[in-house]
Structure 1
Amino acid sequence: MKRRRQIRLIAALWIVAALPFATLPGHGAGASERHAGYYYPESVTEEHYISHAQKIPAATRESRLAFVSGVAKSASERPYPPQRAMFAKGDDANKLIIVSLYDDHMTTLAQARAILAMMTGVARTTKILRDLQVESIFNFLDFCKMLGFTELTISDGRTYAHRFVLE
């Protein structure tokens, strides 16, 4: 039993640590469609999120990957295994994906939105957002827009996926 738990922990840590650096060729709607059925269920609901934040001039592929790595590092420093994987996809790493690693976690869109609200605080601790001294009025989706992400897809990994198109 302990060995199985260790293997799960190692697998979860690998996902959180390695996937931010993996990318698939292509971008645009085609890239998002390629991710459906692989990282999350094929049926994806979608909404447009209009942010009052502006993309920052320093927002690059590298800064987006650094942001994802910073959030993943924060999750890996906790005394329990990560509950979700977060990674960037697309040629320009502008598509953010967050997927639950457990069956009874983030089972509804309302729970997923609550997770995003909690991640706002974690995101503020990343180096890039600390350096920018971002105002407290912004939430996680605003931070994503500021960093140049064009969409965020969140999923329980089993029954639903929901995409926020960031405008």
Structure 2
Amino acid sequence: MTRLITFAAALIFAGAVAAEDRYVGYYYPDITSEETFDRVIRASEGAGKAVRLDFINVLTTAQLEAPESPRFVFFAKGSDAGTLILTALDDDVFSSIYRARAIMAQLTVSVRKGGFFQQEDLQYVATFYDLLQLMQFDEMIITDGETWSHRVTFTR
């Protein structure tokens, strides 16, 4: 009886882990590091699935229209498109978490130049993470697509 209970508990635990990381092994390798982003610079309403998907479409279109080939891709997953995944397409761009953070800093510069942050007087304080928080993403996964993945969880 004890074995049966232990086996059942193991199955339940395995199911919970699989549900939590259902994209591991398909879109990215195991999560190797995590952080939580909990700063809320503005309350946001109306930032639903359509807003998140439009954001991904704008980023992807800009990458595809650029003269050079993209070095990483953006895509959203989940029934409400709440998971943003950034995956490297070559071995150098996200060869370390530090290079990935440099890309996040570069994306911050790009979004600060946009009209929304300037209109809201946030261009000097907001970051790319703040934008994702405003759009109500639940999490972002950054990965080299081979050996590591980093999860950023957004809490509101």
- Using structure 1 for the length normalisation, give the TM-score: 0.74
- In structure 1, stretches of 5+ residues that fail to align are 1-27
1:1-167 equivalences in 2 (<5 Å): 33-124=21-112, 129=116, 133=120, 135-136=122-123, 137-167=125-155
Contact 2:112 2:122 in 1 (8 A): no
Task: Look up the equivalent residue of 1:44 and give its one-letter code.
Answer: T
Greater than 2 Å deviation, 4+ residue runs: 28-32, 52-55, 121-127, 129-134
Q: Are the structure 2 counterparts of residues 162 and 124 from structure 1 closer, same or farther at C-alpha, using a change threshold of 3 Å?
A: same
CA positional deviation for 1:159: 1.2
Identity %: 32
How far apart, in 2, do the equivalents of 1:107 and 1:54 lie?
Answer: 33
Task: Look up the equivalent residue of 1:113 and give its one-letter code.
Answer: R
Task: Look up the equivalent residue of 1:135 and give its one-letter code.
Answer: L
SS at match of 1:62: helix
How far apart, in 2, do the equivalents of 1:29 and 1:141 lie?
Answer: 26
SS at match of 1:85: strand
Q: Highest Rg: 1 or 2?
A: 2
Contact 1:100 1:106 in 2 (8 A): yes
Q: Are the structure 2 counterparts of residues 31 and 124 from structure 1 closer, same or farther at C-alpha, using a change threshold of 3 Å?
A: farther
- Using structure 2 for the length normalisation, give the TM-score: 0.79
Task: Look up the equivalent residue of 2:122 and give its one-letter code.
Answer: E
CA positional deviation for 1:56: 1.5
Q: Are the structure 2 counterparts of residues 31 and 68 from structure 1 closer, same or farther at C-alpha, using a change threshold of 3 Å?
A: farther
Q: Over aligned residue pairs, what C-alpha RMSD do you find?
A: 2.4
How far apart, in 2, do the equivalents of 1:32 and 1:85 lie?
Answer: 23
Task: Look up the equivalent residue of 1:78 and give its one-letter code.
Answer: A
